[in-house]
Chain A
Amino acid sequence: MRSSHVISRSLLFVLMAIVLLTLGACASVDKTATTDPVLVGDVHDDGRAPGDRYPGETTPLGRDGRLTADALSDPSSPLSQRVIYFEFDRDDVRADFVDVVAAHGAYLARNSQTRIRLEGHTDERGTREYNLGLGERRAHSVRRMLLLQGASGDQIQVISYGEEMPAAMGSSEQAWQQNRRVELIYEGHRR
């Protein structure tokens, strides 16, 4: 079966290119790539300051049709969950969010160039200044878990908004539940 046909050099290059591209795509799909393809080809910064938005504006990743090759954009990935909710007056990560936070930590550990901002929020109960502290403490709880998964401290920025940026308006338990949260915001990605 050894071919005596002469394959033109140009055709060989084309075939090699296809093989390489296919391998690259597989690598990113199975999430073993250490280089985030998004950071290479599709860096997006919406140009807005961290607080330059209205409260509760969260755009789930992957729905806008961009960044489809990135695990961050896979709606079935735990990484698509970017809001961690908390119990009243508590700052420990709820058991049902531990896996989500761990997945983010592992992602950050694999993607050392990726940076994340943790925005801590509270509901409206209690004083505004105390809630500023509580929001920060919640964000620090998430930060500690990310570090445990191997993320490094300089990838993570912590900001507290206290009760000032509610996701839901109103004074009901339902609204309060939505507001006791830490939002994970990947730099260069839409929320």
Chain B
Amino acid sequence: MIQIRHVIFLLLLCLPLAGQAALEIRITQGVEGAMPIAIVPFGWQGEAQVPEDLATIIGANLHRSGRFAPVDRQTMPQRPTRADELDFPAWRGQGSNYVVIGRLQSTGADRFSVQFQLFDVAGGRQLTGYNIPVERADLRRAAHMISDIIYERLTGERGAFDTRVAYVSVTGQGGERRFALQVADADGHHPRTIFRSAQPILSPAWAPDGRRIAYVSFENGRSEVFVQNVDGGDRTRLAAFEGINSAPAWSPDGRRLALTLSRDGAPDVYVMNLADRSVTRVTQSRSIDTEPAWMPDGRSLVFTSDRAGQPQLYEVPVTGGQPRRLSFEGRYNGGASISPDGRRVAMVHGAGGGFRIAILDRQTRLFRVLTDGRADEAPSFAPNGSMIIYATSERGRGILAAVSEDGRVHQRLVLQEGEVREPAWSPFRE
């Protein structure tokens, strides 16, 4: 049996970069029995200093997943960079089941090629290997892609390291609060602000193509839904009806946007056809119906409703009809995020005065509380379903955290200044 080990690694994975408000990731709870793997420092043939330590980035990624335990470089019996230098007998008995080696070569002005190979120590054979041409600005991304390849080869599950996270940062106090919608790599690096406002920003939602984000902005003194390109351009106001305009969620085909409107009275779930902006009402109730989330087949929506008195999750066909109640545990369940396979629903679960992230298996009806914070909210599944990112607080300050879907791996993402909230994990990048 694999057991949970508490508060072990306080690893500072990324050093603060000058001028960047990078998210620092700390793994607060890991998994015993994680797979030992040696990621040998990559070879570098070049005159200048090595532009990026790819092996460290890959090791940090694999470690963060909770499934791998990268071994210390100091304990490696050798540091080969080519397959013919690999001395398998020397690695046997050293504790590493797998060895990753690689090389980084300059191929022109700010152009590189990255080669890597993954070996099975016991069998003495190569499991996979690739050559990746890359520009300087994308070197970290190459390390994320390599991490994904290794992760998938060894776990059988697609990796989600080469993805991004959108979130809202808040700096300043009182009347000086400033809100920013930001997008960072999944490891917290390369944070970029794509929208800034003196008024609150809420509920960022990625389009399935990963190129656009819809969100709620109060810039005009009330909640309205906007969409803009992740690269910053082409910003459009999508919904500014009377009343609430909020909780955007893209359909899996990217052609429709579910959202909450209160233009006809109480907040209800609607679907907007993005081609002509026509709006169809999905729920009809005098209660608060909100926080729609699409099932992967695009046929139904899970949403929050207090029609039974307290907020609970319901599922309704996109075409409308009688909603079916999904959540029964506790007095408060809301803010659903659906796993990519549609089997599991992550939610904000209120019980005993606190709000935690819980997960419901729709087939087995198994319900589990995954976190133990007091105000955990805004769960968002990684595109491979392995982790859930969410908002929590640490000493009164909003931070992001992630938990594996089985509740065994916990990590925290802390912004160097201000607060972070409202995380949304991106889809896979093409």
Contact = CB atoms under 8 A, between A and B. Distances in A.
**Real complex partners, A and B?**
yes
A52 interface: yes
Interface residues of A, number: 31
B218 A134 contact: no
B218 A127 contact: no
Interface string B215-227: 0001011110000
Q: Indicate the member of A133, A161, A170 with the most B CB atoms within 10 Å.
A: A133
A164 interface: yes
A134 B305 CA distance: 11
A163 B247 CA distance: 15
A128 B332 CA distance: 13
A133 B374 CA distance: 22
Contacts of A134: 288
Contacts of B396: 170-171
A129 to B, nearest CB: 5
A128 B377 contact: yes
Interface stretch (A31-39, A53-61, A66-74, A108-116): A53-61
Contact of B175 (A54, A162, A169): A54
A164 B290 CA distance: 17
A128 B202 contact: yes
B266 A137 contact: yes
A130 B288 contact: yes
B174 A132 contact: no
Contacts of A159: 221-222
Given A54-B177, A124-B375, A132 B290 contact: yes
B332 A126 contact: yes
Contacts of A127: 291, 304, 311, 334-335, 348, 377-378
Interface in A38-96: 49-57
B244 A51 contact: no
Contacts of B335: 127, 129-130
Interface in A104-162: 124-130, 132-134, 136-137, 158-162
B301 to A, nearest CB: 14
A165 interface: yes
B263 to A, nearest CB: 11
B223 A132 contact: yes
A133 B177 CA distance: 23
A169 to B, nearest CB: 8
A139 to B, nearest CB: 10
A52 B221 CA distance: 7
Nearest to B289: A133
A133 B203 CA distance: 14
A10 to B, nearest CB: 53
Given A128-B203, A133-B290, A170-B396, A54 B176 contact: yes
A54 B170 CA distance: 14
A56 B304 CA distance: 29
A54 B288 contact: no
Nearest to B203: A129
B36 to A, nearest CB: 40
B267 interface: yes
B378 A128 contact: yes
Contacts of B375: 124-125, 171
A170 B374 CA distance: 13
Contact of B218 (A51, A137, A171): A51
Given A51-B221, A170-B396, A126 B334 contact: yes
B261 to A, nearest CB: 11
Interface string B349-367: 0100001000000000000
Interface of A: 49-57, 124-130, 132-134, 136-137, 158-162, 164-165, 169-171
22 contacts: A49-B220, A51-B218, A51-B222, A52-B198, A54-B176, A124-B375, A126-B334, A127-B311, A127-B348, A127-B377, A128-B378, A128-B422, A129-B247, A130-B288, A130-B304, A130-B334, A132-B290, A137-B266, A160-B223, A164-B202, A164-B218, A171-B375
Q: Closest 4 interchain pairs by CB?
A: A54-B175, A133-B288, A50-B221, A164-B200
